[in-house]
Amino acid sequence: MSDVADFPYFALSDDLRELQAAVRELCDDKIAPHAAEADEKSEFPRASYEALKAGDFHAPHIPEAYDGVGADALATCLVIEEVARACASTSLIPAVNKLGTLPLMLGANEEQKKKYLTPVATGEAMFSYGLSEREAGSDTASMRTRAVRHGDDWVLNGQKSWITNAGESRYYTVLAVTDPDGRRGRNIGAFVVEADDEGFGVGAKERKLGIKGSPTRELHFDNVRLPGDRLVGKPDEGLQLALRTLDHTRVTIGAQAVGIAQGALDYAVGYVKERKQFGKHLAEFQGLQFMLADMAMAVESARQMVYAAAAKSERNDPDLGFFGAAAKCHASDVAMRVTVDAVQLLGGAGYVSDHPVERMMRDAKITQIYEGTNQVQRLVMARALLR
């Protein structure tokens, strides 16, 4: 993959354009046809997952040293954007594989990386991320899940909430308090939990507004004994690792939001060019043309912000925190606005499931909430400005 530092973020290289075209072709052929069924049945889109694996798009961020394709941050965002254009639920496969594995890429030792990154790269396993709890959503430092040292091992107790792809993933990065009396935020460790660990289980699938093809469950830990080599980094640096991870992965949520918005815009444009009222195609009415122009302008501004943030993620720029938050916040707000307008442009037809825009509208909402609500993103941005 090309280095994003080699060209302006607003001009994709030939390699990236070829990647974009390849992912779009695969999505149109093998992912989009399953999107409505995954939503309707609230079922994991297994055929779409197999299609992603066949194209090496299921975890493109993993380096070649661990049998991955070594896609850079921008290339990974392009994959997620194109998949989200077809099916938001499926786009959470590459997005959450990155979210779950990035703490290891940032803080694990070489043995841990080889053990856990390789099966994700080859498609043998997926990786989820366990940070939030019922009473610790935006306030992550107040988590109650505990990891107590027993000799060389750790014993984990507690629960995690709203975990994407839980039950489908084999591995989980889980954050837990290692020192209840330690300084807040500096008393948390990051651990790898495996699906078959004794005492570990998942709850029932949440009944959700959108992204229904991606299962969301609680994680439960009942005296789960973890060998010492499951600790990623040091026992007191887990939260810092988690926050560094989010600086990077918020960019991928921005890419997902752009993809959802683009999918809705594309469908709405096609619809108004075909649909007639008052003897004219809807596309001939100036008021609707203005709506389309505003939608396209918003999508493109969000895309450019995401690509700029992806370039900063690849370089690990010091202002990534601001740009990651801004990209996620702006793109998700755009996705919500554009999908609502797409439903409006279709009128009554937009409100029924015969057309995909109502699904896209429901899917878009979560992008304003997960990986930090947009209110939290604005706090992150403001603090960066005021430092």
Please give the biggest Cα pair distance in the chain. Answer: 79
Q: Nearest Cα to 324, choosing from 203, 332, 286?
A: 332
Q: Which of 218, 314, 358, 371 is catalytic?
A: 371
Token pair of 364, please? Answer: 């878009």
Residue 110: how many other CB atoms lie within 10 Å = 9
- Which residues, at least 6 apart from 340, have a Cβ–Cβ distance to it below 8 Å? 361
Does 110 qualify as catalytic in the annotation? no
* SS3 per-residue string spanning the chain: CCCHHHCCCCCCCHHHHHHHHHHHHHHHHHHHHHHHHHHHHCCCCHHHHHHHHHHCCCCCCCCHHHCCCCCCHHHHHHHHHHHHHHCHHHHHHHHHHHHHHHHHHHHCCHHHHHHHHHHHHCCCCCEEEECCECCECCCHHHCCCEEEEECCEEEEEEEEEEEECCCCCCEEEEEEECCCCCCCCCCEEEEEEECCCCCEEECCCCCCCCCCCCCEEEEEEEEEEECHHHEECCCCCHHHHHHHHHHHHHHHHHHHHHHHHHHHHHHHHHHHHHCEECCEEHHHCHHHHHHHHHHHHHHHHHHHHHHHHHHHHHHCCCCHHHHHHHHHHHHHHHHHHHHHHHHHHHHHHHHCCCCCHHHHHHHHHHHCCCCCCHHHHHHHHHHHHHC
Token pair of 43, please? Answer: 């079922």
Q: What is the chain's length?
A: 387
Return the active site residues. Answer: 371
